[in-house]
A and B are shown apart, each in its own frame.
Chain A
Amino acid sequence: LAKTTQPISMDSYEGQEVNITCSHNNIATNDYITWYQQFPSQGPRFIIQGYKTKVTNEVASLFIPADRKSSTLSLPRVSLSDTAVYYCLVNTGKLIFGQGTTLQVKP
């Protein structure tokens, strides 16, 4: 199982772009990279998923270099409501969560 490493916490201000990088050195050929967001007292919510290069949706962008050993979640122009824990996951057969990155957005 590919292990992921991401920063424990990050601070940002409203309106800024936030980039959270995740390392997954042992990623396997068939693994996808998935990011989830979790607010306090709620279950995680899917944000974005990718395999290589760049994926963009209405919420975020995901950048994956050619070697796929890392990925970067990019949140454009964050607001206070983006304060949450963000999890990077890599897995083929089952979904294993790490500790995640706690993002604190300040006014």
Chain B
Amino acid sequence: NAGVTQTPKFQVLKTGQSMTLQCAQDMNHEYMSWYRQDPGMGLRLIHYSVGAGITDQGEVPNGYNVSRSTTEDFPLRLLSAAPSQTSVYFCASSYSRAQETQYFGPGTRLLVL
């Protein structure tokens, strides 16, 4: 198993541009989530999904959209990038619930100029 994969590893955007951060898992996990981590801070939950077709907001959802059309993929879309969205983004998955062991991806480092 590849586990949780994220692409790209690093991205530079200009303010106002849009992009999609990709996340995929091959463990047949139902629960997937997106976090952002700013320097010296803990992770903050952006959006999560308990299964295909079901998504919900986390702590900091503004400026981000998600969809879950398949069990494997959970892309995160930035509609109009802002410098405040400069951060490291982590995707995670678990078998069925948030309380279970979460497997994290390697992260995507995003810089918005």
* A contact residues vs B (CB 8 Å cutoff): 31-32, 34, 36, 41-46, 49, 85, 87, 91-100
Contacts and interface: CB of A to CB of B under 8 A. Distances in A.
A94 B58 CA distance: 8
A42 to B, nearest CB: 7
Contact of A98 (B4, B42, B90, B104): B42
B35 interface: yes
Contacts of A32: 99
Interface in B90-113: 90, 92, 98-99, 101-107
A97 B43 contact: yes
Q: Top 10 A-B pairs ranked by shortest CB distance?
A: A43-B104, A97-B43, A97-B42, A46-B101, A95-B98, A99-B42, A43-B90, A94-B98, A32-B99, A100-B42
Contact of A43 (B98, B99, B101, B106): B106
A41 B9 CA distance: 11
Interface residues on B, range: 20 to 34
Nearest to A30: B99
13 contacts: A31-B99, A42-B106, A43-B4, A46-B101, A91-B99, A94-B48, A94-B56, A94-B58, A95-B45, A95-B99, A95-B102, A99-B41, A99-B42
B71 interface: no
Contacts of B101: 46, 49
